[in-house]
Structure 1
Amino acid sequence: MKKLLFIVCLTIFGFTFNSNAQVDPQTSTEEPVDPNGPVITFDTLVVDFGTIDQGSDPFRIATFTNTGKKPLHITTCSGSCGCTVPKCPDTPIMPGEKGKMKVRYDTNRTGRISKTVTVKSNANNGTVTLRVVGMINAKQAKPAMEPNTGGPVMGQ
């Protein structure tokens, strides 16, 4: 019984001692945000292909603005799979300027589109994820033609 009481007291003491511990705010691993830094603001976070036919135009444009006070540098942009390929601008986007990102989707596939594009930059809001959506209808099969043998047509 004394052992049990000792263990309970030791446990309570440990929790009490641990709850008084404070985190040193200077040891935070997050980098401070520059209030004058760049900010990337997309016109929309959805790249919508709509309902299209198989093999049609595979490109859409995602437009964004640097609403911050310093140049915006996009470091990487990547699709969630090989069928979604974004092309980011190579040059910095100055404060107040607009930029365009070309998004290609493999329209030889069919069915519902539900993918993402991840954009990483030096912006205060850091990483932005865009959704790529739409629907690709299968091409209608062309009716097979009867072979032309060059001879007379029977039954006429």
Structure 2
Amino acid sequence: MKILKISVIALMLAVIPASASVLNVSKIIENVADVVISWKAETIDVGQIPQGTPKTIPFEFKNTTSKPVLITAVRAACGCTATDYSKESIAPGKTGYVNAIYNAAGVGAFTKTVTVTTSDSDSSKQLTFKGTVVAK
């Protein structure tokens, strides 16, 4: 009976590290698969901008995959922000852009977001910009 218990414990100790390694490798593969486009910055601090002067905030990215990627949707979180983006398919290794054009109407600190969806994934990326609008 003692030999059976020792054998079961030894087997468990042998299996646990092996299964942990498989789980870690699976997680790494999932993370690598998620990297489709590499953003130069996902959050940009624009500092102080004058009231009443629209400010363009450029978000640049690089297609790090082996297939072309197309931006399928760009949504600003509020009506104070317009967007412009690369309309053509971005070839592997090439760069594209998403511009947020912020209408700096109200004085004070702000934090705004733009959500980007691409053809390669159902998930989206949220880009953020922040700063302070100062009176002229």
Report the TM-score when normalising by structure 2: 0.69
CA 1:72–1:56: 2 relative to 1, 3 Å: same
After superposition, the CA RMSD in angstroms is 2.3
Q: Which residue of 2 aligns with 1:55?
A: 52
Which residue identity lines up with residue 138 of structure 1 in the other structure? A
SS of residue matched to 1:72 = coil
CA 1:93–1:38: 2 relative to 1, 3 Å: farther
Segments of structure 2 that go 5 or more residues without pairing to the other structure are: 1-29
Structure 2 residue corresponding to 1:70, chosen from 62, 67, 90: 67
Q: Which residue of 1 aligns with 2:26?
A: none
Greater strand proportion:
2
Identity of aligned pairs, percent?
31
Which residue identity lines up with residue 90 of structure 1 in the other structure? K
**1:107-141 Cα shifts (integer Å, max 9, x gaps):** 122211111100001235831000121111112xx
Segments of structure 1 that go 5 or more residues without pairing to the other structure are: 1-32, 140-156
Could you tell me how far apart the structure 1 residues matched to 2:40 and 2:66 are?
18
8 Å CA contact retained: 1:119, 1:128: yes
> Is 2:108 aligned against 1:116?
no
> Is 2:133 aligned against 1:136?
yes
Deviation at 1:86, TM superposition (A): 1.7
Q: How many residues align?
A: 106
